[in-house]
Amino acid sequence: MSDIDIKRISYLAKLKLPSEKEEFYSNSLKDIIKWVDNLKKVDTSKTEPLHNVTEKTVSIRNDEVSKSNSVDDVLSNAPERAQNFFKVPKVVE
């Protein structure tokens, strides 16, 4: 097992761990990853990954429109809205 870069992982997960908690999570993750490492022993060279126990879908939609939800219902939980938009601080590219 390689070292866990907790800063990078929390960056990917959009979390800002308080510095005093970084070590806590980092150690906890290390323990868990070590614990699940036993999977490496299993020979899966002839095994396909299983995405889902159900392997055949019956839900395929025809290309038809059904009425979308109302703008007010879509926005009713918005922390901030402006007219019919969601509002956020400016996005800088």
Partner 1 sequence: MKNSISQIKKALIEKKISVGELYDEYLAKAKSGNNNSFNLVIDRENNISSINDSQNRYDNGNPLPLDGIPLGIKDLFCTKGIRTTASSKILSNYIPNYESFVTQQLLNDGSIFIGKNNCDEFAMGSSNETSYFGPVINPWKNKNSQKDNLVPGGSSGGSAAAVAEGSCVASMGTDTGGSIRQPASLCGIVGLKPTFGSCSRWGIVAFASSLDQAGPLTNCVEDAAYVLNSINKHDFNDSTSSNHQREDYLVDINNSFEKKIKIGIPSDYLEDVSDDILNQIDNTKKALSKHGIEFVDVKFKTTEYALSTYYILAPAEASSNLARYDGIRYGVREDGESLDDIYLNSRTKGFGDEVTRRILIGAYVLSAGYYDAYYRQAQKVRRLIKNDFQRILNEVDFILTPTTPNEAFKIGDKLDPISMYKNDIYTVPTSLAGLPGISIPSGLSKNGLPLGVQFIGNYFEEKLLLQLAALAEKELSFNE
Partner 2 sequence: MSNNWEMVIGLEVHAQLKTSSKLFSSSPNQFGSEPNENVNFIDSGMPGMLPVMNFGCIEMAIKTGYALNFKINKYSVFERKNYFYPDLPQGYQISQFEFPILSEGYINIDSGDNQKKIRIERAHLEQDAGKSIHDIDPKYSFIDLNRVGTPLLEIVSYPDLSSADEVINYMSSLRQLLMYIDVCDGNMQEGSLRADVNLSVRKKGQELGTRCEIKNLNSFKFIKQAIEYEFQRQINIIDGGGEIEQNTMLFDTSTGETRAMRSKEFSHDYRYFPDPDLLPVNLSQEQIDKIKPLVGELPQDKLNKYLDNYSLDKDIAKIIIAEKQNANLFEKMISESTVKPKFIAAWLVGDIFAFIKENNLEVNSLNDKTKDITDLLKLISDDVISNKAGKEILPKVLNGEGKPSELVKELGLEQVSDSGELEKIIDEALVGEEENILKFQGGSDRVLGYFVGKCLKATKGKGNPKLINKILLEKLKK
Q: Which two tokens stand for residue 6?
A: 């907790």
Quick note: the x/- pattern for partner 2 over 9-48, rule CB under 8 A, is --xx-x----------------------------------
Answer whether 78's CB lies under 8 Å from 86's CB: yes
- What does residue 82 show for φ and ψ, rounded to 5 degrees? -135, 120
CA quadruple 11, 17, 23, 26: dihedral, nearest 10: -40
Answer whether 34's CB lies under 8 Å from 1's CB: yes
Question: Given candidates 19, 62, 68, 69, which one binds partner 1 under the rule CB under 8 A?
Answer: 69
Site for partner 1 contains 3 (CB under 8 A):
no
* Least distance from partner 2 to the Cβ atom of residue 29, Å: 16
Given the rule CB under 8 A, which residues bind partner 1?
2, 4, 6, 8-10, 12-18, 25, 28-29, 31-33, 35-40, 42, 44, 47-54, 57-59, 69, 73, 76-80, 86, 88-92
